[in-house]
Structure 1
Amino acid sequence: MIETLQGLMSDYGAIAVAIGCLLEGETAILLGVFAVHRGMFPLEAVVIAAVVGTIIGDNVCFHIGRRMGRPALDRRPGWQPKIARVERLLERHGAPVMIGFRFLYGLRYVTPFLLGSLGISPLRFFCFATLGTLIWVGTITFVGVHLAGAVDVALNHIQEIEKVLVAVVLVGGAIAFGYYRMRRNTTS
């Protein structure tokens, strides 16, 4: 699976990150950062692709909600608990929810749809969602850059540990085989 994801990144690069951010953002950004760490393309390409893909995805959901309205939400019983939660958050916090909904796992696709159905101004949504996207992409990218370095260090340690484990298994096997042969010869 990792080879397939690396292949997608090397073949499609930033476009894969942008499309990934339309579907599942953190994973796409983190894979993009790992590709950057491997020298496949520049970090700026990941950031720009993530911002563009996320803004497009959020605005598509917003405009679908704006066009379809509340009846479309009411026809989705599985969304009702999430809708109720977003509505409570909006009542209490308003603009910060419109800025930070990308950080609310499980609510990031319902929120723009709901905001569109509530009649929020498209320009207001665009401005708040773009600000939130910049903060979110910056945060995930920052974490990814540091995580990529840590993963490389861990993999290097694992490779060293594997060598030691192979040596221990070989020596242990040789000792066990020698002991078995010695016991076999003494009992015969």
Structure 2
Amino acid sequence: MTDTIHRLVEQYGLIAVFLGCVAEGESAAILGGFFAHQHVFIVWQTVLAAFLGAFAGDTFFFFLGHSFAEHRWVRRLRKRPGFSHAYQSVRTHPNIFVLSNRYIYGMRLVGGIASGLSGIPIWRFIALNALSSLVWALLFSTIGYVFGLGAEQIIGRSLLLHQRLLIALGIGVAVIVVAVFIGHRVARRERAREGD
């Protein structure tokens, strides 16, 4: 069983990091960094997968807002909590917003749509998004790598690789559960604020 999990992580793990980083992907990038420390992935490949996922996700949502403003999916996303705040922020401070949007949990999706609707030139968005995605991927992959160093100090090197893999997967699931919980609380608070 553990050998199968190990093989699956080795074969498809970087794809999972990429896909996880397309959406709200901090936990995917951190987990990728942890696996890089465990020598399951190569560090630069982990950073590249996280960068490409983050860049592709934000660019996709930008073009969705830019080219399909009246599509029913975009109209539905414009009703999500935080959209009006994101749209106002990107209109007043477009460069700062594009560079910092991915660091605000729960805002990446609506932030991409808002950026697309705001009239930012495509070339500027792509350049700022690439820079922000690269810094983000380096930061969160490094956090995962450093966490791997710390975990190794705490639990020791004596654990087998597959045992450390299972611990990492458990930590990843816990991080996702906490992130979803926090995201729901932030969204509920934002809906209440917009309802006032």
Q: Which residue of 1 is the match for residue 53 of structure 2?
A: 53
State the TM-score, normalized to the length of structure 2. 0.69
Are positions 1:134 and 2:134 aligned together?
yes
Instruction: Quickly say closer, same or farther: Cα 1:71–1:143, change in 2 above 3 A.
Output: same
Q: Which residue of 2 is the match for residue 25 of structure 1?
A: 25
Q: Which residue of 1 is the match for residue 190 of structure 2?
A: none
Q: Which residue of 2 is the match for residue 180 of structure 1?
A: none
Q: Which of the two has higher C-alpha Rg?
A: 1
The DSSP-based 3-state class of the residue aligned with 1:124 is helix
Instruction: Quickly say closer, same or farther: Cα 1:89–1:5, change in 2 above 3 A.
Output: farther
The DSSP-based 3-state class of the residue aligned with 2:153 is helix
Q: Which residue of 1 is the match for residue 125 of structure 2?
A: 125
Give the length in aligned residue pairs: 156
Contact map agreement 1:10 1:40 (CA 8 A) in 2: yes
Q: Which residue of 2 is the match for residue 88 of structure 1?
A: 88
Q: Which residue of 1 is the match for residue 187 of structure 2?
A: none
Q: Which residue of 2 is the match for residue 65 of structure 1?
A: 65
The DSSP-based 3-state class of the residue aligned with 2:120 is coil
Q: Which runs of 5+ in 2 are unaligned?
A: 160-196
Contact map agreement 1:22 1:56 (CA 8 A) in 2: yes
The DSSP-based 3-state class of the residue aligned with 2:114 is helix
Contact map agreement 1:22 1:54 (CA 8 A) in 2: yes
1:23-51 per-position Cα deviation (integer Å, ceiling 9, x unaligned):
33112111211211111121000011111
Contact map agreement 1:95 1:128 (CA 8 A) in 2: yes
1:150-175 per-position Cα deviation (integer Å, ceiling 9, x unaligned):
12222239x9xxxxxxxxxxxxxxxx
Contact map agreement 1:8 1:16 (CA 8 A) in 2: no
Q: Which runs of 5+ in 1 are unaligned?
A: 160-188
The DSSP-based 3-state class of the residue aligned with 2:68 is helix
State the TM-score, normalized to the length of structure 1. 0.72
CA distance in 1, matches of 2:82, 2:5: 31
Contact map agreement 1:47 1:137 (CA 8 A) in 2: yes
Of the structure 1 ranges 36-45 and 17-26, higher mean CA displacement relative to structure 2 is found in 17-26
1:36-95 per-position Cα deviation (integer Å, ceiling 9, x unaligned):
11111210000111111211111111111112216754444751x311221332244331
CA RMSD of aligned residues (A): 2.6
Q: Which residue of 2 is the match for residue 185 of structure 1?
A: none
Higher relative contact order (CA 8 A, sep 6+): 2
Q: Which residue of 2 is the match for residue 152 of structure 1?
A: 152
User: Which has a greater percent of helix?
Assistant: 1
AA matched with 1:26: E
Deviation at 1:3, TM superposition (A): 8.6
Of the structure 1 ranges 70-79 and 84-93, higher mean CA displacement relative to structure 2 is found in 70-79
Identity across the alignment (%): 28
The DSSP-based 3-state class of the residue aligned with 1:109 is helix
Q: Which residue of 2 is the match for residue 181 of structure 1?
A: none
